[in-house]
């Protein structure tokens, strides 16, 4: 392969602006650009404790602004493929190998929502979200007599 290519996990639904991500990737002359969401809400409360385990801070289901989350979309150059023998998992093996070798790996930050639809439960939840946000269909007045 001798051209830029896209990796898009099959269980992700997002409205990410791929055109802008490609522009960013080219501008940075990156080997790999990873889409990172800046607005992921986690399903758990988080806390921080002091040396005596007294809670100093607690927040229920926070949005992780300071820790952008990979959303399963990458733009890569052919050099990326040389690192695929690092292991079977792109996020756990290949990207860390690229970073360790000093390749140009960038994060494209996006506030756009993304949804993991890797299970039937998650898919059903996303269907409900989409249905709630869809516009009601109207009859086509041009075809009515």
Sketch out the chain's domains with CATH numbers. Answer: 5-128 (3.90.550.10)
What's the burial of 106, exposed, middle or buried (CB within 10 Å: 0-12/13-18/19+)? middle
pLDDT-based confidence at 137, cuts 50/70/90?
low
**Segment 113-135, tens digit of pLDDT:** 776 766 777 767 767 777 777 76
> pLDDT exceeding 90 applies to what percent of the chain?
54
pLDDT at 80: 97
Buried-exposed string 37-67: b where 16+ CB fall within 10 A, e elsewhere: bbebeeeeeeeeeeeeeeeeeeeeeeeeeee
- Alpha-carbon distance of 93 to 82, in angstroms, equals 12
pLDDT-based confidence at 104, cuts 50/70/90?
very high
Cβ 116 vs Cβ 37: under 8 Å: no
DSSP code of residue 116: E
Return the ∠ at Cα 16 (arms to 42 and 96), rounded to 5°. Answer: 65
pLDDT at 145: 47
The answer on pLDDT for 79 being more than 80 is yes
DSSP H or E run through 133: helix 120-133
Query: Cα–chain-centroid distance for residue 30?
Result: 18
**Which of the pair, 36 or 1, is modelled with greater confidence?**
36
Give the closest residue to 32 by CA, choosing from 93, 83, 74.
74
pLDDT at 1: 81
The answer on pLDDT for 49 being more than 80 is yes
């Amino acid at each position: 392969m001798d051209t830029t290519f896209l990796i898009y996990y099959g269980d992700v639904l997002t409205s990410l602006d791929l055109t802008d991500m490609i522009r960013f990737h080219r501008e940075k002359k990156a080997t790999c650009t990873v889409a990172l969401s800046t607005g992921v809400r986690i399903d758990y409360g988080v806390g921080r404790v002091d040396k005596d385990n007294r809670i100093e801070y607690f927040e229920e289901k926070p949005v992780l602004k300071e820790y952008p989350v990979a959303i399963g979309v990458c733009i890569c150059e052919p050099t990326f493929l040389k690192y695929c023998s690092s292991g079977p998992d792109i996020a756990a093996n290949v990207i860390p190998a690229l970073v360790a070798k000093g390749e140009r790996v960038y994060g494209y930050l996006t506030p756009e929502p993304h949804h993991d639809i890797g299970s039937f439960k998650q898919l059903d939840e996303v269907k409900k979200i989409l249905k709630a946000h869809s516009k009601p269909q109207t009859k086509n007045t041009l075809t009515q007599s």
